[in-house]
Structure formats: C-alpha cells, structure tokens
Amino acid sequence: MNRHVPVPLPRLRPSGRAAPEFGWERFHAIAHELPPLFIEHWKELALNQDAIPLAPDWDRYYALDVQGILRVLTLRVEGRLAGYLFLMVGPHLHYATTLWGHVDMYWIDPVHRVGWTGVRLFKALIADAKAMGVVNLTLSTKHHFMDNRVTKLLKRLGFAPIETIHAMRLT
C-alpha cells in the first residue's frame, strides 16, 4: 500500500522573504561586498552629488578596523549583505574616561525595510553597545530623507535629539 507521508514544508516568513540575520563582522572581511551598497546609499541620501563624489577613504576604514575602533553590524538575507551599521567605539575627546559609541552610518536595502527589520537592527546595536561598555551612544539622521521614519523609530527606542548639525556648501 502506497501511503502518502506528509513532508513538513520549510517555514517561511509571512511575506515569503527569508528572515534577516544580524551580526558583527570585521570591516576587512566584508569590504569587498560594500561598494555596490555604498553607491546605493550615496544615491539615496547624499546631498550635493553634483559636486561631492562618493569616494570612501578605504585606508582609514581599514586602519579604524585594525585599531578596534570600527565595528560593523551587518544585515544579511540568505547570506547576501543587505544592510550595515558602522559604529565607532572609543573615548570621547571631551570625556576621556567614558566610552562612547557613534554611529558613522547605517543603511538597509529598501527591499528589506519591512516589518521589524529596522527595529531589530537598532535593538541589536543598543544591546551590543551596552555589552561593549559604551555609556553614551550617538547617531545622526537626515532631515531630508523620506518622511523621517528613522527619527520616529529612534525616539520610540529611547533616543532623543540633542543637536542639530548645520552644513553649508561652499562651492
């Protein structure tokens, strides 16, 4: 007798997308994957693109990685890099006895800006920065970006706006 035995199907997220995975990776290990993401990030957010070309200082990033200052929290989907958050960790110039963390930049591929992905990224950042001994965590948001959803999210997570950065294009 040929009995049909049900085979369990792999669990998929309701959207059908694979679940994103977060992890801290060394810059030197992922640098080769970054250029296409940097380009998309720059196209989406950079001001004055006609006068200020994207030109990452790769040598400085490598140096900060070697010094242990640069930490990179990655977002991967099915092994592919789909986002990142660059965290600089060290004493502040004004408060040398206190460990500070400053988020240099963060970006998630728009395809993966769904559900709880952004929340999970920032919650991982907060928990891991605490575990590293960071006392004060800072980051910037772009006022001109979309509807400023990131600012709303950060406020819900406990961040408070403390400064405004002013910029002027001189050429």
Tens digit of pLDDT for each residue in 133-151?
999 999 998 888 766 788 8
Whether the predicted pLDDT of 162 surpasses 50: yes
pLDDT value of position 13: 46
Check residues 48 and 143 and name the one with the higher pLDDT.
Answer: 48
Whether the predicted pLDDT of 75 surpasses 90: yes
Query: DSSP code of 94?
Result: S
Task: Specify the 3-state DSSP secondary structure of 11.
Answer: coil
Task: Order across the sheet with 99-108: list the strands.
Answer: 21-25, 70-77, 80-91, 99-108, 136-139
Number of DSSP helices (H) and strands (E) in the chain, helices first: 5, 5
**Beta-strand relationship, 136-139 and 21-25:** unpaired
- Write down the residue that tokens 């991982």 correspond to: 124
| Angle in degrees, CA 161, 112, 124, rounded to 5 | 50
Check residues 1 and 111 and name the one with the higher pLDDT.
Answer: 111
Whether the predicted pLDDT of 50 surpasses 50: yes
pLDDT value of position 16: 58
Calculate the average pLDDT of the chain: 89
Q: State the pTM of this model.
A: 0.86
The model's confidence at residue 157, banded by pLDDT at 50, 70 and 90, is very high
Give the tens place of pLDDT for each residue, 4-34. Answer: 444 443 444 445 568 899 999 999 999 999 9
Q: Residue 27: which of 77, 91, 88, 90 has the closest Cα?
A: 88
Give the span between the Cα atoms of 37 and 107, in whole angstroms: 8
Whether the predicted pLDDT of 118 surpasses 90: yes
CB 117 within 8 A of CB 20: yes
pLDDT value of position 5: 44
Give the span between the Cα atoms of 152 and 158, in whole angstroms: 10
pLDDT value of position 23: 97
Sign of CA dihedral 77, 12, 154, 128: negative
CB 142 within 8 A of CB 164: no
